[in-house]
Structure 1
Amino acid sequence: MNIGIFSDVYFPQKNGVSTAIKLYKEEMEKLGHNVFLFVPKYSKNYKRNEKNVFEFPAIKFLFEKEQRIALPISTDIFKIKKLNLDIIHSQDPFSMGILAEFLSRILKIKHVGTHHTMYEYYRNYLPLIIRPTLKQTQKMIKNWCLKLDKVISPTNNIKNLLVSYGVPEEHVVVIPTGIDVNKFNKPIEWNIKEEYNIKPNEKILLFVGRLGPEKNVDFLINVFHKIFQEEKNIKFIIIGDGTERHKLEEIVIEYSLQKNIIFAGAQPREKVIDAYKQADLFIFASYTETQGLVILESMAAGTPVVALGKMGVYDLLNHENAGGIMIRELNENDFAHEILRVLKNEELYNKLSKNAINFVKENYSIEISVQKVLEVYKNLLNK
């Protein structure tokens, strides 16, 4: 098949959507399909070493500098017809998603879309004068879904949410985003204990993600402060960057924890995987995750998880043998108690670690996910 994937997000911007697109592209190409990406151009200085990627002019989003707003104006549009696309797959309802919808109608190509993001929780990035209401955002999501020939939801929880917005249940298929488990079997090259002078007997807590308010990293810092009162041989590494970084660094200074809480900044994917494998525990308190790829990645590395069980994360950790501890609500004492319980109970820790690896391998490998997506494509093309 010739597959066109349209997205307003892709590398070098680091997030779950970028990772998912790259994994799908690589796996589909392994199976002999031709995958063409249509994404924003991030910088004149950034050169891609990747075939079949069409870049569109883009401007920085004024209120979130990492984000780009693609301008669907490019001579590459005239090349699209020659690609003989069999299917179009958009990753969001914005400028590239609008272009995907337009092309699907003009060229009479079936159009699939994946609902990656809980846009309702990101309205705060817009100033009040142009900020849509919650109902307007929900209506926008519903209308986008109805224009698609099929909607892919990463979890049942998200599917139920879309149905509550008015999207027909039969219009949505649940396919979790997969993980390339083989990448977690490679030898470690980035030694984080050496990099940050962490002693052999010190435990490492890890967070990976964008430093935005919806990720609740300030809550995790408060939890770490509680843990530190009882356990001194412990470090908290925060990988990622974003608008909240300065505020978070100030909280760390107020707690006098600069030696124990490390801001590692954004890191290449290879280094992030190495960090997962060396951490003792992954902690996460975001309430906006459609799936929580970082949860799956941590478990693929055999690192147990303590996380807030909301939205997509609930669908992962609600399983008995998932390899993680789910906290029902944002409660600092509950989080601190469970983190310490796992770290101090070697038998429990080893059980969670083993379960985590098996859970991801059996349920969330990229091979399984891609086969399910391709089945959606084939069913639409046979109609």
Structure 2
Amino acid sequence: MKVAQFVDNYGPARNGLLVAVQQLEGDLLARGHEVVVVAPQSKGPNPHKENPSREEIRLPSVFVPKMPVRVASGRGFKKMIKKLAKNRPDVIHVHGFGPIGVLGLWAAIRLDIPLLVTWHTDFDAYAEHYPAVLPLLRGVVRLFARMNNSEVYAAHDIRQARLELGENASLLGLMRKMLTEADLVTAPSPKTVNRALMLAPTATVRCLPNGVDPLPVGEQPIECGDGPLIMYAGRIAPEKGFVLLLDAFELVTEIRPDAQLLIVGNWEQNPKLARRITRMRERHNLLLPGEKPRAELGSYYAMADLFAFPSQTDTQALVLHEAALAGLPIVAVDSELDLVIEPGVNGEFANPSPISFAAVILRMIDSLENPAWRERAATRSRELAGQWTVQSQAEEMIGLYKHLADKPQG
């Protein structure tokens, strides 16, 4: 079986989407299938590049201002369609709603190939933080209307989207079109399933979380104090709610001045946040090892007492699964990200305010002083996260591919 993966975000920065897609590539290749990756031209981690069963089609790309990604510029799309037609995949899998994602939709329609769409990223929420993204995505709508004589996204769709969706109607209307046209939509959490069905009520949507396995643990990588260690790992950016975490930690230290905050990520990338962190580290116990390869993260999770997650824009948050597999209790603010959190047992949800977030973290610190509670929380965290392994989720996804490939088209 040959599967074409259409991916808008394939570097240079490493993120949850890239981890999930490259993991899926590896699973397919290990089982003897062929993979075609269609992505913007960019540098970044590419562990399967030399595999003879893998083909890569890179398209001209441009940087998105203030974002660590490149997106396809729109050039070379027709040429790519012709190339794909000569070497047809059995299934097209689109990972997202950017230029490459819409190209995957167009290719599936033109070539009559089964289409699976996975919703990885909450574009509507991200657009609030990255206004530079919207002109690029709106340009995609116009581009494909011209290229396909409005076949992909007709004028009627635009009018209907404006009536129902208001601001950003062209973007959300295009997302609705993609979800509706897909033979199957997968989403990594119930939260995202609900979002997809709100936007496209007639779409066929299935919840399929990305699989995560426990990370290896080595020696303790950095020195730390004796106080409770709160950990955050991941991208450090405004849309991740990082200011909320910093505000809450300052409140926590008013009650527990021995508390420590371990930030594993590139904290220097955003100048405004970097200045805030630099000021804070002069007064508080901040541990800042920087961004680390995923294979090294297990040793950092092993240091921590609890994991704090302030984001409200994630669709699954692989770091929550990593933290849970490490036996950590979790404090989060997005109550819809509940796959690995059972409130009162191995974690809690706070309101998205510094006072609420800090209060819940402090309660968790108090609970951790009870060894029996700590052990029960660790056991439950591992039980919940252990439901979705890399192998189990790969087998389920490949089963969906086979079902779609065998389904008559036209």
Q: CA deviation at 1:280?
A: 1.9
CA 1:187–1:314 in structure 2 vs 1: closer, same or farther (change >3 Å)?
closer
Check whether the contact 2:108–2:114 (CA below 8 A) recurs between aligned residues: yes
SS of aligned partner of 2:42: coil
Q: Do structure 1's residue 278 and structure 2's residue 303 form an aligned pair? A: yes
Aligned match of 1:126: 131
What letter corresponds to residue 124 of structure 2 in structure 1?
Answer: E
Q: Mapping of 1:259-298 within 5 angstroms?
A: 260-298=285-323
Aligned match of 1:174: 207
Structure 2 distance, partners of 1:218, 1:377, is 41
Q: Mapping of 1:89-238 within 5 angstroms?
A: 89-124=93-128, 125-127=130-132, 130=135, 133-168=167-202, 171-181=204-214, 184=215, 186-188=216-218, 191-193=220-222, 197-199=223-225, 201-238=226-263
Check whether the contact 1:178–1:367 (CA below 8 A) recurs between aligned residues: yes
What letter corresponds to residue 292 of structure 2 in structure 1?
Answer: Q
Check whether the contact 2:95–2:117 (CA below 8 A) recurs between aligned residues: yes
Aligned match of 2:76: 73
Corresponding residue to 1:56 among 55, 58, 62: 58
Query: What TM-score results when the alignment is normalised by the length of structure 1?
Result: 0.85
SS of aligned partner of 1:10: coil
Query: What TM-score results when the alignment is normalised by the length of structure 2?
Result: 0.80
Deviations 1:300-353 (A, max 9, x none): 122221111344x134425776x3322254323433333323433322222111
Moved more, 130-139 or 347-356: 130-139
What letter corresponds to residue 38 of structure 1 in structure 2?
Answer: V
CA 1:53–1:268 in structure 2 vs 1: closer, same or farther (change >3 Å)?
farther
Check whether the contact 1:213–1:244 (CA below 8 A) recurs between aligned residues: no
Q: CA deviation at 1:222?
A: 1.6
Check whether the contact 2:64–2:71 (CA below 8 A) recurs between aligned residues: no
Check whether the contact 2:267–2:273 (CA below 8 A) recurs between aligned residues: no
CA 1:234–1:83 in structure 2 vs 1: closer, same or farther (change >3 Å)?
farther
Q: CA deviation at 1:20?
A: 0.6
Deviations 1:231-255 (A, max 9, x none): 3333212222379733223334554
SS of aligned partner of 1:264: coil
CA 1:145–1:60 in structure 2 vs 1: closer, same or farther (change >3 Å)?
same
What letter corresponds to residue 308 of structure 2 in structure 1?
Answer: I
Check whether the contact 2:348–2:360 (CA below 8 A) recurs between aligned residues: no
Q: Do structure 1's residue 380 and structure 2's residue 404 form an aligned pair? A: yes
Check whether the contact 1:60–1:66 (CA below 8 A) recurs between aligned residues: no
Structure 2 distance, partners of 1:377, 1:13, is 28
* Ranges in structure 2 where 5+ consecutive residues have no aligned partner: 139-166
Moved more, 121-130 or 368-377: 121-130
Q: CA deviation at 1:377?
A: 2.0
What letter corresponds to residue 327 of structure 1 in structure 2?
Answer: A
Structure 2 distance, partners of 1:47, 1:352, is 36
Structure 2 distance, partners of 1:165, 1:30, is 36
Aligned match of 1:306: 331
Check whether the contact 1:227–1:340 (CA below 8 A) recurs between aligned residues: no
Moved more, 263-272 or 346-355: 263-272
Moved more, 254-263 or 10-19: 254-263
Check whether the contact 2:12–2:68 (CA below 8 A) recurs between aligned residues: no
Aligned match of 1:7: 7
Check whether the contact 2:63–2:69 (CA below 8 A) recurs between aligned residues: yes
Check whether the contact 2:6–2:39 (CA below 8 A) recurs between aligned residues: yes
Structure 2 distance, partners of 1:120, 1:257, is 37
SS of aligned partner of 1:265: coil
Deviations 1:220-272 (A, max 9, x none): 11221122223333321222237973322333455454662233332211122
Aligned match of 2:22: 22
CA 1:314–1:359 in structure 2 vs 1: closer, same or farther (change >3 Å)?
closer
Aligned match of 1:370: 394
SS of aligned partner of 1:377: helix
CA 1:156–1:62 in structure 2 vs 1: closer, same or farther (change >3 Å)?
closer
Structure 1 distance, partners of 2:367, 2:389, is 26
Aligned match of 1:35: 35
Deviations 1:262-305 (A, max 9, x none): 33332211122332233221110111111111101111122221
What letter corresponds to residue 188 of structure 1 in structure 2?
Answer: G
Deviations 1:200-234 (A, max 9, x none): x3432211122221211111112211222233333
Q: Do structure 1's residue 324 and structure 2's residue 347 form an aligned pair? A: yes
Aligned match of 2:378: 353
Structure 2 distance, partners of 1:153, 1:213, is 24
Aligned match of 1:344: 369
Aligned match of 2:150: none
* Ranges in structure 1 where 5+ consecutive residues have no aligned partner: none
Check whether the contact 2:60–2:76 (CA below 8 A) recurs between aligned residues: no
The number of residue pairs the alignment matches comes to 370
Q: CA deviation at 1:139?
A: 2.2
